[in-house]
Structure 1
Amino acid sequence: MTGPQPRPTVAAIPAYVAGKPPRPREGLTVFKLSSNENPYPPLPGVVEAATEAAARMNRYPDMGSSELYDALAARLEVPREHLALATGSVALIYQLVQAFCEPGDEVVYAWRSFEAYPIAVTAAAATSVRVPVLADGRHDLDAMAAAVTDRTRVVLVCTPNNPTGPAVTQAELDAFLAKVPPHVLVVVDEAYVEFVRSSDPIDGIATYRSHDNVLLTRTFSKAYGLAGFRVGYAVGPEPVATALRAVSLPFGVSSVAQAAAVASLAAEEALLERVAALVAERERLVAGLREVGWDVPEAQGNFVWFELGDRTADFAVVADELGIVVRPFAGEGARVSIGEPEANDRVVELARRFPR
C-alpha cells in the first residue's frame, strides 16, 4: 500500500470484546450476565439530575468538572489536586500508560486480568509483562515484584481481580509495595471496591497517602450503576494526578455524566443498601454453585469465575439455552455477573447441568 500507514503497534492492539446482549426469546425472560452491570436502576435523584443536565446539551460541559471534583474531594477527604476524572476508569488506564511510559517501557500486571490492560499498553507502544495468576485466581504478587526490571514504569494491581474474582489484602499489598522501587507507579485498580467483604480489605486512601507512587482508579459504572455514562476517577499524589489530567481528552466527561455522578454520591444510603443486596446474592450464588460441586474462586466483585479451559464455548452455549448470556474467555473460562435472583438461580441450574 502507498497510502498512510499507522504505527506498527496499532496493528498489534488486541480487540476489546464486550459482553454480548441476550437474544430475545418468546415466553422466556433473558438476562445479560456478561458485562458486570448493576441490575438495579439509577439511584434516587440521578435520573432527575441527568434530565436537567440534558436540557442544556447545546452547551459544552464544565471542562473542569468543578462540582464533581468538589463532591469527590469532600467524600474521600482528599485534595482536589489529587484527583483526575475520565470516561470510566478504563480511560484512566490508557492515560496513565500514555503519561508514564516511553515506547518499550514495561508494564507489569497479572494475567488473566482486565482485558483492557494489554490494549492500553500496546496502544502506547509499551511492553506488557504478564504474570500468571495463582491456581485460585489470586495475584502472584511475589512473582510480580520479581518481574519488575529497570524498564518497568507501571504495575497494575486489579483488586478484586476481573475476571477471576479474588481481592488483594492490605497485608499483601503492603508487602508488595515494600519490594517495588519508588520510581515505579503502582496502580491499584479498584473498579469493584464497594463489593469487597474481605477480612483484610485494602484501605486505598490510606495506602496512597503513605506512598508517593500509588494511584487508585475507581468507577461509577459498577456499584453506582452509571455504566452508560462513563465516569471514572483516580486518586493519587498531586504530580501523578496532574499528569493524568494533562493527557485527558478535553470535555471528556459529559455534563449529563457529571450531574449523574454528583447525584449518585449524594444517594449513599441507597447505594449501600443495593451493594449489600448484591453481595448477599453473590454469597447465595457461590453457595449454590459449591453445593452442586463447583469450587469457584473467592468472589469479591459482582461476578463469579468458572475455570473451564477448552470447554468454555460449550458452557456459553448451554447458558444461552437457559436464557442467560455469560462472558466467555476462549480456552480459559467464563465470567458470570451477579444479576437478579431469577438470573442467579439459572446460573446454579447451568452449573448443575454442565458437567464439572
Structure 2
Amino acid sequence: MSSSPPAPRGALDGIPAYVPKPPQPPSEGPSYRLFLNENPYPPLPSVRDAVLAASAGSNHYPEIFPTRLAGALAAKYDVPLSHVVTGPGSVGIYQQIGQAFLEPGDDVVYAWPSFEAYPIMTRMAGARPVEVRLRDHTHDLDALAAAITPRTRAVLLCEPNNPTGTAVGAKALEAFLDRVPGDVLVVLDEAYVEFSRSEDAVDGVALHRERPNLITLRTFSKAYGLAAWRVGYGFADPAVAEALRKCAVPCGVGRVAEEAALFSLTVEDELLARVEEIAKERDRLRDRLLAQGWPVVPSDTNFLWLPLGDGADAFAHALEAHGVLTRSFPGDGVRVTVGGREADDLLVSVTAGLAREQDADSS
C-alpha cells in the first residue's frame, strides 16, 4: 500500500495556496483594514433587520437558483430573466466561467496588474494566462487586442480596474469589443461601477444586449456593503447564461444572503448616498496625499493606487506599523481602500511623516 496521498492536478502547481497571515498589530492604538476594498459603512439598520428575520429560516435549504433575486435584478435592469446569472460573489461566477468555457490549451488574455482571481481561475481550468502589462496604469487595449490569437478563448476586463482604479471609458471599450472575434468570450467585471463619476462610464448591462460574446459581472460586495454575504450577479446571452447556471454550485447564494441583497435593492437611494460620500472621501484623500508629494492615480473606484514601484513594500510596511493595513503589489504599487474618516486621517498623518523622512534623506 502506498504511503503517499493521491496527487492533485498538475494545473494547481502554479496556484498559490491561501495561507492567512495575521497582520501585525501596531504597538498601540487602533488597526484599520484598508486592503480589501471593503465598504467602510455597515449594512443599514433596515437591512440588518431583514437579515435577522431571514435567519429564522436557516434550517431550510435556499433555492438551487435564487429566483427571487434574479427576478428583481431582471426587473431593475430591464433584461429577460434568462440573461441573469448569480454566484457566491463574482468570484463564484468566474469559477463557473472556467468550468463552462475553458479547456486545457486555451489562452485567456487579461491586463496586469488586475483582479488577482484572473490567473487563479485560468490555471484552475488548465488554460494558459496571457498577461498584458498596463500602460499608464490603464488597460492597453491595443496590446490586449494584439494578444488575441486563434488559441484565445476568453478576454477578462476589469472596468474600472482593480488595483489601479483606472477606467478606459465607454467609447474606447466599444471600439475594442469590435476588434474581438465573436467566438471569444469577453468578461466585463464592473465590481466598482457605482463609484465612477465619469460621463464616459461604461454600461455593461446595455453592452451585453447587442454582444452575445459578452458577460457583464457586478456585485453586492462593494457599493452595497454586503461583502460577508457573497452575492455576485451578471448578465449574458441566454445560451451563455444557461451554461453558467449548469456549472453553478447548487444553493450557492444562501437564503439570508439573498434576503440581504433583495432588501438592499429597496433602499438603494440610501445606499447610493453612502457611495457618494465614499467618492467624496476618495477625492479628499487623494488631494491630501498629492499635497504631500505622493504619486496617486485618479480613481473611479473606492480605493487609490500609489505607483511606488520598488518602494511599494516599504511604504506598506511603514503604514502597517502604525495600524494602517494596505495592499502592496511588490514592484508596482500600493492599493489603499478608502476608509472612514478616522482611518483616512491616520493614514494621512503617517504618510506625512514618511514624506518628511524622504525629504530629509534626499537633502
Regarding TM over 0.5, the answer is yes
Q: Which amino acid aligns with 1:209?
A: R
Q: Aligned residue for 1:50?
A: 51
Q: Aligned residue for 2:237?
A: 237
Q: Aligned residue for 2:352?
A: 352
Aligned-partner Cα distance in 2 for 1:268–1:19: 35
What SS does structure 1 have at the residue aligned with 2:264?
A: helix
Q: Aligned residue for 1:12?
A: 14
Aligned-partner Cα distance in 1 for 2:260–2:23: 24
Shifted more, 315-324 versus 237-246: the winner is: 315-324
Aligned-partner Cα distance in 1 for 2:267–2:45: 7
What SS does structure 2 have at the residue aligned with 1:37?
A: coil
Instruction: For residue 177 of structure 1, report the CA deviation from its aligned partner.
Output: 0.6
Instruction: For residue 289 of structure 1, report the CA deviation from its aligned partner.
Output: 1.3
**Contact 1:22–1:324 (CA<8 Å) still a contact in 2?**
no
1:1-356 matches, cutoff 5 A: 2-15=4-17, 23=25, 26=28, 28-134=29-135, 136-355=136-355
Cα 1:243–1:228 shift into 2, 3 Å = same
TM-score, length-scaled by structure 2 = 0.93
Aligned-partner Cα distance in 2 for 1:175–1:305: 26
C-alpha deviations, 1:154-184, integer Å up to 9, x for none? 1011011110110120011111011100111
Q: Which amino acid aligns with 2:31?
A: V
Shifted more, 202-211 versus 110-119: the winner is: 202-211
**Contact 1:46–1:260 (CA<8 Å) still a contact in 2?**
yes
What SS does structure 2 have at the residue aligned with 1:75?
A: helix
Cα 1:262–1:17 shift into 2, 3 Å = farther
Aligned-partner Cα distance in 1 for 2:91–2:347: 28
* Structure 1 portions without partners, runs of 5+: none
Instruction: For residue 98 of structure 1, report the CA deviation from its aligned partner.
Output: 1.8
TM-score, length-scaled by structure 1 = 0.95
Instruction: For residue 14 of structure 1, report the CA deviation from its aligned partner.
Output: 2.8
What SS does structure 1 have at the residue aligned with 2:228?
A: coil
**Contact 2:27–2:322 (CA<8 Å) still a contact in 1?**
no
**Contact 1:19–1:34 (CA<8 Å) still a contact in 2?**
no
Shifted more, 223-232 versus 47-56: the winner is: 47-56
Instruction: For residue 7 of structure 1, report the CA deviation from its aligned partner.
Output: 1.0
Aligned-partner Cα distance in 1 for 2:22–2:246: 34
What SS does structure 2 have at the residue aligned with 1:142?
A: helix
Q: Which amino acid aligns with 1:128?
A: P
Greater helix fraction, Structure 1 or Structure 2: 2
C-alpha deviations, 1:31-87, integer Å up to 9, x for none? 110100001010342111111121111110122212111111111111111011100
Aligned-partner Cα distance in 2 for 1:311–1:235: 40
Cα 1:19–1:207 shift into 2, 3 Å = farther
**Contact 2:106–2:153 (CA<8 Å) still a contact in 1?**
yes
Cα 1:86–1:22 shift into 2, 3 Å = farther
What SS does structure 2 have at the residue aligned with 1:178?
A: helix
Aligned-partner Cα distance in 1 for 2:74–2:16: 36
Cα 1:22–1:234 shift into 2, 3 Å = farther
The percent identity for this pair of structures is 49
Cα 1:19–1:99 shift into 2, 3 Å = farther
Shifted more, 4-13 versus 226-235: the winner is: 4-13
Aligned-partner Cα distance in 2 for 1:115–1:240: 24
Q: Which amino acid aligns with 1:221?
A: S
Aligned-partner Cα distance in 1 for 2:22–2:248: 29
Aligned-partner Cα distance in 1 for 2:18–2:192: 19
Cα 1:255–1:332 shift into 2, 3 Å = same
Instruction: For residue 332 of structure 1, report the CA deviation from its aligned partner.
Output: 2.3
Instruction: For residue 116 of structure 1, report the CA deviation from its aligned partner.
Output: 0.8
Aligned-partner Cα distance in 2 for 1:235–1:17: 33
Instruction: For residue 16 of structure 1, report the CA deviation from its aligned partner.
Output: 5.3
C-alpha deviations, 1:203-243, integer Å up to 9, x for none? 11211112111111111100100110100001111111111
**Contact 1:20–1:327 (CA<8 Å) still a contact in 2?**
no
Aligned-partner Cα distance in 2 for 1:13–1:2: 21
Instruction: For residue 21 of structure 1, report the CA deviation from its aligned partner.
Output: 5.5
Q: Which amino acid aligns with 1:287?
A: D
Aligned-partner Cα distance in 2 for 1:194–1:350: 29
Shifted more, 314-323 versus 232-241: the winner is: 314-323
Aligned-partner Cα distance in 2 for 1:188–1:16: 26
Structure 1 moving runs of 4+ over 3 Å: 15-22
**Contact 1:154–1:187 (CA<8 Å) still a contact in 2?**
yes
What SS does structure 2 have at the residue aligned with 1:347?
A: helix
Q: Which amino acid aligns with 2:341?
A: P
What SS does structure 2 have at the residue aligned with 1:293?
A: coil
* Structure 2 portions without partners, runs of 5+: 359-363
Q: Which amino acid aligns with 1:303?
A: F
C-alpha deviations, 1:306-349, integer Å up to 9, x for none? 12222222112211233211111223221110001121222223
C-alpha deviations, 1:126-168, integer Å up to 9, x for none? 110000001x210001100010000111101101111011012
